[in-house]
Amino acid sequence: MSDTILEVKHLKKYFNTPKGTLHAVDDVSFTLERGKTLGIVGESGCGKSTTGRAILRLIEPTAGEVIFNGEDITKKNKEQMRLLRREMQLIFQDPYASLDPRKTVSEIIGEPLKLQKLIPDAKKRAERVHELMEVVGLADRLINTYPHELDGGRRQRIGIARALAVNPEFIVCDEPISALDVSIQAQVVNMLEDLQREFGLTYLFIAHDLSMVRHISNRIGVMYLGKLVEVGDSEEIYQNHLHPYTEALLSSVPLPDPELAHRSEPIMLQGDIPSPIDPPSGCRFRTRCPYATQLCAEQEPPLTEVGSNHAVACHRVTPARGNEEKGGIL
C-alpha cells in the first residue's frame, strides 16, 4: 500500500500584469509517495519553480489544494505555516544569491534552528551545525568563512545543510545543480541520493537536465506552459513516452554513444512558446505540435491514465469522447 506524503489537486497560480493575467501554473495535480522523488521537467518559463514555491506557500496559490500528511496546508494561517516549515524545506537554484553574504557558514546553517526555536542553547546549536557540515561534506575549517570565499559546490552544500537543519520530511529541490559545474553536479546529486536513503527524505526535484532527472527520480512529470502533459514512472517515461512534447525533450538529450548520436536526429520544434498571458485554446502545445488537428484547437485534452502509473494529456493517445465514433484522432 502506498504512503502518500503529498497530494496536489488542481493547483493554480495566476499573476496580474499590466498586459493581463499570466497563467503560470494552471490546474496541476499529482501525488508523491513518502521517501520517493518526483522530477519535474520542462522548458524555462513553463511553471516548474512556481509550482514548487506554491506548494510550499512561499507564494500563495490562486486556487487548488496542497494536502501534506493528510492536511490541506492552503488553509493554515501564518503561525501554523511557520511551524510546518520544520517539515517542508527548499533548496534554492542559485547558491550565489540564496546565502546572506554578511553571515558566516555557521550562522547560515544555524539560522533555521534559531528561528524555529528548536535549539535555543548556543553551544548545542554549534554542535548541531558541526554535525550538519559533516553530513554534507563540509570541512570544519570552513565554519567561520563567508559565502564569497567559497566555490559554487560548497555554497550549495551550505544551502542543503541549512534545509536539513530542521529535520524536514519533504524538500523541494529547485534546480539545485543548474548553476554548478558539470563535475560538481554529479557530486551534489549523489549526495542528495545518499541523504534521501539515510534520512528517508521525499524530494520534488525540478530541473532542465533530463538525464539527471532520470538518474534521481522515481517518477517524472513533464510540464508545458503551466500544465502537466505527461506523468509516469521514470523508466516508463523514457522508454514509452507518449506526448509529442516529451518526445521532443528526450530527443534533445545528448547520447554518449557516437554511433547512436549520429543516427538519431533531435526533434526541432517550430516557433516559440506562446505567452502564458494569452495561451492557445484547446491543447497548449498545438501551435508547435507536428500532429495537431482541429480537435486540438477546440478541446483541451485531460490528463488521462493510459497505463499503470502513466498519464498523458494528448488527443492522439486519449481521443475525446464523441470523436471515437468518427474515427478518432490519428
Q: Is it the case that residue 294 has pLDDT exceeding 60?
A: yes
> In the structure, what pLDDT confidence band is assigned to residue 84 with cuts at 50, 70 and 90?
very high
Residue 291 has, within 13 A of its CA and on its CB side, a CA count of: 14
**Cα 86 to Cα 94, 124, 203, 260, distances in angstroms:** 22, 18, 15, 47
Q: Is it the case that residue 254 has pLDDT exceeding 70?
A: no
The label of the residue with cell 470523436 reads 323
Q: Is it the case that residue 2 has pLDDT exceeding 80?
A: no
Residue 260, pLDDT score: 53
- Cell numbers representing residue 77 in the block: 494561517
Q: Give me the mean pLDDT over the 66-88 stretch.
A: 95
- Cell numbers representing residue 26 in the block: 494552471
Residue 210, pLDDT score: 82
Element (H, E) at 241: none
Domain 4-87+168-326 sits in CATH 2.60.120.10: no
- Cell numbers representing residue 114 in the block: 534559531
Element (H, E) at 11: strand 4-17
Q: pTM to 2 decimals?
A: 0.89
- The closest alpha carbon to 41, from 164, 162, 204, 192, belongs to 204
With 0-12 CB in 10 A as exposed, 13-18 as middle and 19+ as buried, what is 120? exposed
